[in-house]
Structure 1
Amino acid sequence: MKFYNINEKSDFDVICKSVGVSVAGINLMREKSSLSFVYIKDIKSPAANILKQDAISVGAELVTHKDTIFGLDTSSNALLIGTDAQLKKLSKKEKLQDFGLKNLAKFLEISFNKPENPKIMGVLNINNDSFNASSRIDIDNALLCINKMIDDGADYIDIGGVSSRPGSVYVGRDEEFRRIKDVILQINAHGLDKKVKFSLDSFDEYCLEFALNHGFKMINDISANENLALLAKKYDCELCMMHMQNDPATMQINPHYDDLLAEISDFFEHKVLKARDLGAKHIVIDVGIGFGKTAEQNLLLIKHLKHFLKFQCDLLVGASRKSLINHYFKSEVHERLSGSLYLHLKAFENGASIIRTHDVSEHKQMFALHSAYQKANLW
């Protein structure tokens, strides 16, 4: 016999096939191949004790406060640990329990499916004040820059007529439309909208409808106006809604979220439900990296991005060259490619399906190597 300590993130299916496991066996074993962590806040001691016993009975575990065992009528936090198979069994048990455990059962039934490959969204700005000067275009070089991104392998190209950097002031509909009109007409006239999906980074309905009338396929709305779902329904396009504090002109960092994940999750709970009620079929969520959040909060959102898969929506992350990187490693905007690549790789690993970046070619290369690495197996 020979023994190998192999990477625990190796392709489970490939390993099973090398062992000779049946297809049915692979499907069964896959649910046992990795652990999930479910953090539970404010659980009453009686509920925690019931849940702990139920968890142990299916082979899972509940990590509780040291005083929970005494059964006092107090609340604390807990960590539920189990495989997909164990949590599936546990959810059936908790459906029969009181103390709010029925709500946990519903949560455990959600599929937190991560994408197999990311889609890359290139960023181009038709203005003179976006924070990354290299992303700025005008009518003279627009087609050249767009075609370059298409050749580099972009899946989306996001066009913006106004800056949303912190402190920026909206220039108004007329000025925004003046900036974007000719570029949109050129994109449509040259059939570029047939080669790649275009999105308009705007919250103005007039500008958005003009773009959608000329082949654009996504509304990229930083204001998360759920009423734009009516426009998304009319054109059967994607609607991306982002979280931020206030608006770019009045945006302030909130260093004291009582519960970062809960507050942003509640925000999208309302927005997604309303947008779906209004007829939007293709909703994308953007947690808003850099928009009114501290550097640490931004990292926490990327690290725990999987939680937002609960909405069964594509997740978009755009950390490209943002000041978050400068906070941890002093650098100017043009020096932040490495940091951008790292953050976007982690975002993808944690559930992001669309990566918004100024550097399309570099990201396509990085994800090509990541995909090849994932597929590299000994057997």
Structure 2
Amino acid sequence: MAKDTFLNRKQTLNCKGKVVDISKPSVMAILNLTPDSFYQNSRAKSIDDALSKVEHFVNAGAKFIDLGAYSSRPGAAEVSEEEELERMVPAIKAINQSFPEVLLSVDTFRAKVAEESIHAGAHLINDIAAGNLDERMFETVTKLQVPYIMMHMKGTPQNMQDSPTYENVTKEVFSYFSEKIKTLQNLGVKDIILDPGFGFAKTLDHNYQLLKEMELLNFFELPLLVGFSRKSMITKALGIKTEDALNGTTVLNTTALLKGANILRVHDVKEAVECVELVNRISSLVH
């Protein structure tokens, strides 16, 4: 990968007045404030447990912590807005108090949860539905002017894996982002991050086709976030359990980095940071 392959891409994020450099790929740690996320080790059972996990992530080299209070795994149970807020806001406040330097991302598709979380101290919004599940989300992001991660998904977490079909998955994801980016930029949103949505409304073949052609998304010159960590696109392909999927995660993370990924969203921070360091060593060589 040539050093200047992604030279024109946006290199910084404005996180509530703090300019964050993402010219070198970064790691985002997953912290679930819900009891039904698919990977048990990512769940925080209490505020103290959440703080302990954040300390571990920070020490391992995470730049961002992604807080989720609504499980988006296939077939996950519905969670009310009130319950999502009750899980999210106290955790944000506690983490902010103990780790004021940490950049917190709030994983929600609800505008009210996003807004209250940002006011509580979060810095980014991570929306799996790109505004499709709450018509007020784009308006809220525009008002808050914080970095907005938008993911590609069809349907809802409850039905997204009910026979997803595409004529060409990469072209449809490209078209989806093209329309969303235009809308957001017209509204005045400055910091947009794209997440192709691996594992969301996609079959095994869809996921690997999209990864194979992921560099096409560099056309938008916007930061790319990927999330493969211990997902079924690894476990099903290899016939293994979630707890055995770290090696497969590293392989896909490496592939994505070589195709232009800026942020790796992971459960295992240390290994992802090492992956970034080694790929960066390759890409920084001048011929």
TM bucket, shorter chain:
0.7 to 0.9
- Displacement of 1:230 in angstroms is 2.8
In structure 2, distance between residues paired with 1:141 and 1:116: 32
Moved more, 282-291 or 269-278: 269-278
Matched, 1:344 2:253: yes
- Report what 1:106 is aligned to: none
Tell me, in whole angstroms, the C-alpha distance in 2 between the residues paired with 1:372 and 1:206: 42
Could you list the per-position Cα deviations for residues 121-154 of structure 1 after superposition, in whole angstroms to 9, with x for gaps in the alignment?
A: 0000011100000000022311111111111111
User: Residue by residue, what CA displacement relative to the aligned partner does 1:12-40 show, whole Å, maximum 9, x if unpaired?
Assistant: 8xxxxxxxxxxxxxxxxx9xxx9xxxxxx
Partner of 2:92: 184
RMSD of Structure 2 on Structure 1 (CA): 2.4
Counterpart pick for 1:205 among 107, 111, 128: 111
Distance of aligned partners of 1:249 and 1:195 in 2 relative to their CA distance in 1, 3 Å threshold: same
1:123 aligns with 2:30: yes
Q: Distance in 2 between matches of 1:123 and 1:317?
A: 12
Say if 1:112 and 1:280 are closer, same or farther in 2 by CA, change over 3 A: closer
Shift of 1:373: 4.1
Q: 1:369 to 1:187 in 2, by over 3 A?
A: same
Whole-Å Cα distance in 2 between the matches of residues 323 and 208 of structure 1?
28
- Aligned equivalents of 2:284 and 2:75: distance in 1? 44
- Per the normalisation by structure 2, the TM-score is 0.87
Give percent identity, aligned residues only. 33
Partners of 2:65 and 2:105 within 8 A in 1: yes
The match for 1:267 is 176
| C-alpha deviation, 1:205, in angstroms | 1.7
Tell me how far 1:370 sits from its aligned partner. Answer: 2.6
Among residues 40, 45, 67, which one is paired with 1:133 in the alignment? 40
Shift of 1:196: 2.4
Aligned residue number for residue 158 of structure 1? 66
Q: Is the 8 A contact 2:235 2:241 kept in 1?
A: yes
Q: Distance in 1 between matches of 2:9 and 2:116?
A: 36
5+ residue gaps, structure 1, are 1-8, 13-29, 35-110
Q: TM-score, normalised by structure 1?
A: 0.67
Displacement of 1:254: 4.4
- Work out whether residues 229 and 279 of structure 1, in 8 Å CA contact, stay in contact via their aligned partners in 2: no
Amino acid at match of 2:218: L
Taking a change above 3 Å as real, the CA distance of residues 305 and 217 of structure 1, as seen in their structure-2 partners, is: same
Shift of 1:185: 1.5
Alpha-carbon separation, structure 1, partners of 2:184 and 2:282: 38
Choose the corresponding residue for 2:80, options 154, 172, 184. 172
User: Which residue pairs with 2:15 in the alignment?
Assistant: none
Shift of 1:181: 2.2
AA partner of residue 320 (structure 1): S
Q: How does 1:264-343 map to 2 (within 5 A)?
A: 264-343=173-252
Shift of 1:268: 1.2
Structure 1 distance, partners of 2:66, 2:55, is 13
Q: Are 1:252 and 2:158 counterparts?
A: no
For residues 245 and 141 of structure 1, do their structure 2 counterparts lie closer, same or farther at Cα, with a shift above 3 Å needed?
Answer: same
* Pair member with larger Rg: 1
| DSSP 3-state at the match of 1:210 | helix
Aligned-pair CA distance for 1:202: 0.5
In the alignment, the residues of structure 2 paired with residue 367 and residue 306 of structure 1 have an alpha-carbon distance, to the nearest angstrom, of: 17
Cα distance in structure 1, aligned partners of 2:208 and 2:52 = 35
Where 1:314 maps in the other structure, the secondary structure is: coil
